[in-house]
């Protein structure tokens, strides 16, 4: 365990494969490959429009069908995709992308600079207000230089521009299909077209999405002809379907099953350190949580090691900062020690020697969401804090998080899954903890003047070292000095495959790529 923690901290998305004996058998014979791979996640995609989705299951399919100008490779390094090269001018706001020639969309529309322009016009159209509008609001205008060169000019120097452009919602969709279908783009197979190595052949809602490979794709022809996404909502059924050989790959495996299968060795278990972290946040406007000492006391009262080792069966690592190690801008500030004496001392200092009464809100939408709240409640009890649990369904829960003024929000401690999908400190800290009049993204009304200053400076800082120093300071404030949350652990993204499957790469972003995947007979 120690080794991979180190590797993770080094910033690599390390994929560990616990392989069965069966796997070390004979290499696949050339003719012994199946032409179809079946993947099961808990839910169907909601839409295949990359500009208009915020859920992982949709991104899962989208990243196979669409491509961005620049993207993340397996190790989360930024590499060229539809752009072969790119550079930023000295002004820090003019980004020039040199596009890959000879690429066409699945509907036959050629990919060129004008397609890029029409895409950003679509994302940034204030009338359409796509779900990813906010992510790109720093883009001021897009200029077509020639068919193979396009220029994006931001309103201000933006330090996180590259990771933002590598985000899957910056994917380039076929402008012809998008304009033909309008708001219905991405809702059916016919209304979906990108440039990715697979195209959508069929989509039967809640049943299956069939992807067919694109021959002679610029990245090469993928070895497996067909990828089928078949949602299975029930965890136990998804695991049984894999073990029975009815599906080839599954995601979101319950940790105890993951450990059982790893030990039994009849399936291949893959895990990758991810951008995701689990935490409980404070509503800092509710006394006594306005006092940082109370929040620090609580941070010391939580035994993260025990939670990770038992509830998560070891498939996570205790948090070491407000960001996860693979994110740009991460600073290792160490685990917060489980220290009840210190916790009690801090509570005494804050004027609560006998603890107090609060409540914990959670939702089963997060894996282990209810169990984590139960553990937290039992641990807080040790320092005299009584915290009954309130479980909400997702729809009720988000109601507390969207633009409510503090006096109308009854939540005190609430669960939150963090995971900035740009894998960068800006998106991972700024919207979440920067002072704001309501809690439209800063759900706990966190407000710290120094943090605000640092985060604003970091956002406009383009020098890598200076940027890193600023984000380090920001993390010290929000993680240690004036904690905005009870950071628990950094998630692994967990995937299990039949032993006949190879070349499956889970990404730190919580998606799986199948462009190199093979299934032996």
Question: Per CB under 8 A, which of residues 412..441 are in contact with another protein?
Answer: 421, 431, 440-441
Does 322 bind another protein (CB under 8 A)? Our answer is: no
User: Phi then psi for 449, rounded to 5 degrees?
Assistant: -60, -45
Closest distance of CB 44 from another protein, Å:
8
- Is 386 among the residues that bind another protein (CB under 8 A)? no
**Residue 495 has which token pair?**
């995937």
The answer to the question of residue 373 lying near another protein (CB under 8 A) is yes
CB closer to another protein out of 54 and 221: 54
∠ CA 44-58-494, rounded to 5°: 85
- DSSP run (H or E) holding 120: helix 113-123
Of the candidate residues 235, 285, 468, 499, the single one contacting another protein (CB under 8 A): 235
Instruction: Reduce the DSSP state of residue 338 to 3 states and report it.
Output: coil
Nearest approach in angstroms of CB 398 to another protein is 6
For another protein, which residue of 1, 26, 244, 341 counts as binding (CB under 8 A)?
244
Report, in Å, the least distance between residue 324 CB and another protein: 17
Choosing from 36, 221, 354, 378, the residue that interacts with another protein (CB under 8 A) is 378
Judged by beta carbon, residue 270 or residue 312, the one nearer another protein is: 312
- Minimum gap (Å) between residue 401 Cβ and another protein: 7
Token pair for residue 429?
A: 């800290």
DSSP string, 382-451: TTT-B--EEE--HHHHHHTTSS--GGG---SEEEEEE--TT-BHHHHHHHHHS--SS-SS-TT----HHH
Q: Which is nearer to another protein, 130 or 286 (CB)?
A: 130
Rounded-to-integer distance, Cα 270 and Cα 18, Å:
7
| C-beta of 90 vs 127, nearer to another protein | 127
356 binds another protein per the rule CB under 8 A: no
Residue 514, SS3 per DSSP: coil
Binders in 126-145 for another protein, by CB under 8 A: 126-135
* Residue 352 interacting with another protein (CB under 8 A): no
Tokens linked to 479: 């993680």
Residue 434 DSSP label: S
Spatial distance between the Cα atoms of 322 and 487, rounded to a whole number of angstroms: 7
**Does the protein bind another protein through residue 395 (CB under 8 A)?**
yes
Can residue 34 be called a binding residue for another protein (CB under 8 A)?
no
Task: Determine the interface stretch with another protein among 95-103, 393-401, 461-469, 486-494 (rule: CB under 8 A).
Answer: 393-401
Question: What would the two tokens of residue 38 be?
Answer: 């079946």
Site size for another protein (CB under 8 A): 78
Residue 53: CA atoms inside 13 Å, Cβ hemisphere, count? 25
Quickly count: other Cβ atoms within 10 Å of residue 246's Cβ: 14
Q: Least distance (Å) from another protein to the CB of residue 443?
A: 9
Of residues 154 through 183, those in contact with another protein by CB under 8 A are 183
296-315: which residues touch another protein (CB under 8 A)? 303, 306-307, 309-311
Question: Of 388, 318, 397, which Cα lies nearest the Cα of 356?
Answer: 388
The answer to the question of residue 36 lying near another protein (CB under 8 A) is no
Residue pair 275/421 in contact (Cβ under 8 Å)? The answer is yes
Closer by beta carbon to another protein, 104 or else 128: 128
Spatial CB neighbours of 412, under 8 Å, sequence gap ≥ 6: 282, 283, 286, 289, 358, 359, 360, 361
Report whether 196 contacts 67 (CB < 8 A): yes
Q: What are phi and psi of 390, to 5 degrees?
A: -120, 120
Residue 1 or 449: the one with the smaller Cβ distance to another protein is: 1
Cβ distance 431 to 164 under 8 Å?
no
22 scored as a contact of another protein (CB under 8 A): no
Part of the chain binding another protein (CB under 8 A), chosen from 227-235, 276-284, 447-455, 487-495? 227-235
- Which of 57, 67, 112, 257 touches another protein (CB under 8 A)? 257
- Per-residue string for binding with another protein, 181-220, x by CB under 8 A? --xx-xxx---------------xxxx-------------
Shortest approach of another protein to residue 384 CB, angstroms?
16
499 binds another protein (CB under 8 A): no
123/132 Cα distance (integer angstroms): 7
Our CB check for another protein shows the closer of 148 and 374 to be 374
324, 274 contact by CB (below 8 A): yes
CB of 317 to another protein, least distance (A): 17
Site string for another protein, 96-115 (x = CB under 8 A): --------------------
Spatial neighbors of 35 by CB under 8 A, at least 6 apart, are 224, 225, 226
97 vs 203 by CB, closer to another protein: 203
Contact 486, 192 (CB under 8 A): no
Least distance from another protein to the Cβ atom of residue 305, Å: 9
Both structure tokens of 49: 């429009």
Nearer to another protein (CB atom), residue 132 or residue 472 = 132
Candidate ranges 11-19, 90-98, 147-155, 367-375; the one touching another protein (CB under 8 A): 367-375
Sign of the torsion formed by the C-alpha atoms of 502, 503, 505 and 511: negative
- The alpha-carbon radius of gyration of the chain (Å, integer) is 23
| Residue 290 interacts with another protein (CB under 8 A): yes or no | no
CA-CA distances (angstroms) from residue 180 to 174, 184, 211? Answer: 10, 9, 22
Of 70, 177, 214, 375, the one binding another protein by CB under 8 A? 375
Binding part of the chain for another protein, among 16-24, 277-285, 385-393, 471-479 by CB under 8 A, reads 385-393
């Amino acid at each position: 365990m120690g080794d991979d923690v180190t590797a993770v901290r080094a910033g690599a998305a390390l994929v560990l494969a616990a392989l069965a004996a069966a796997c070390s058998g004979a290499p696949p014979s050339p003719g012994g490959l199946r032409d179809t791979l079946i993947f099961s996640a808990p839910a169907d995609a909601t839409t295949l429009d990359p500009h208009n989705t915020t859920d992982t299951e949709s991104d899962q399919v989208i990243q196979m069908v669409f491509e961005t100008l620049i993207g993340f490779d397996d190790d989360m390094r930024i590499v060229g995709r539809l752009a072969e090269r790119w550079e930023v001018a000295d002004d820090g706001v003019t980004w020039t992308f040199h596009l890959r020639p000879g690429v066409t969309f699945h509907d036959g529309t050629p990919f060129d600079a004008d397609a890029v322009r029409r895409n950003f016009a679509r994302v940034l159209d204030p009338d359409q207000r796509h779900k990813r509008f906010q992510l790109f609001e720093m883009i001021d205008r897009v200029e077509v230089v020639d068919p193979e060169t396009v220029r994006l000019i931001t309103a201000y120097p933006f330090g996180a521009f590259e990771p933002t452009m590598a985000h899957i919602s910056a994917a380039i969709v076929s402008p012809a299909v998008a304009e033909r279908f309008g708001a219905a783009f991405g809702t059916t197979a016919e209304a979906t077209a990108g440039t990715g190595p697979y195209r959508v052949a069929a989509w039967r809602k809640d049943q299956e999405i069939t992807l067919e490979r694109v021959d002679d794709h610029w990245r090469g022809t993928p070895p497996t002809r067909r990828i089928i996404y078949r949602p299975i909502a029930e965890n136990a059924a998804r695991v049984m379907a894999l073990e029975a050989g009815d599906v080839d790959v599954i995601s979101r495996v319950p940790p105890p099953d993951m450990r059982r299968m790893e030990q039994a060795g009849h399936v291949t278990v893959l895990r990758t350190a991810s951008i995701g972290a689990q935490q409980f946040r404070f509503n800092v406007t509710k006394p006594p949580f306005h006092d940082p000492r109370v929040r620090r006391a609580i941070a010391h009262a939580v035994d993260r090691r025990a939670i990770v080792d038992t509830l998560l069966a070891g498939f996570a690592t205790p948090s070491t900062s407000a960001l996860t190690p693979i994110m740009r801008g991460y600073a290792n500030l160490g685990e917060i020690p489980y220290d009840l004496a210190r916790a009690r001392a801090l509570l005494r200092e804050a004027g609560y020697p006998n603890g107090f009464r609060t409540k914990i809100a959670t939702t089963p939408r997060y894996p282990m969401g209810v169990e984590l709240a139960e553990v937290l409640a039992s641990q807080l009890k040790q320092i005299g804090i009584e915290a009954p649990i309130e479980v909400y369904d997702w729809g009720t829960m988000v109601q507390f998080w969207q633009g409510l003024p503090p006096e109308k929000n009854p939540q005190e401690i609430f669960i939150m899954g963090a995971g900035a999908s740009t894998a960068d400190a800006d998106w991972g800290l700024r919207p979440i903890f920067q002072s704001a009049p309501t809690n439209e993204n800063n759900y706990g009304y966190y407000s710290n003047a120094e943090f605000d200053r640092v985060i604003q400076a970091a956002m406009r800082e383009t020098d890598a070292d200076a940027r890193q120093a600023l984000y380090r300071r920001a993390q010290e404030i929000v993680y240690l000095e004036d904690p905005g949350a009870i950071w628990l652990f950094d998630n692994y993204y967990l995937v299990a495959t039949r032993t006949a499957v190879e070349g499956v790469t889970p990404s730190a972003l919580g998606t799986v790529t199948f462009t190199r995947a093979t299934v032996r007979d």
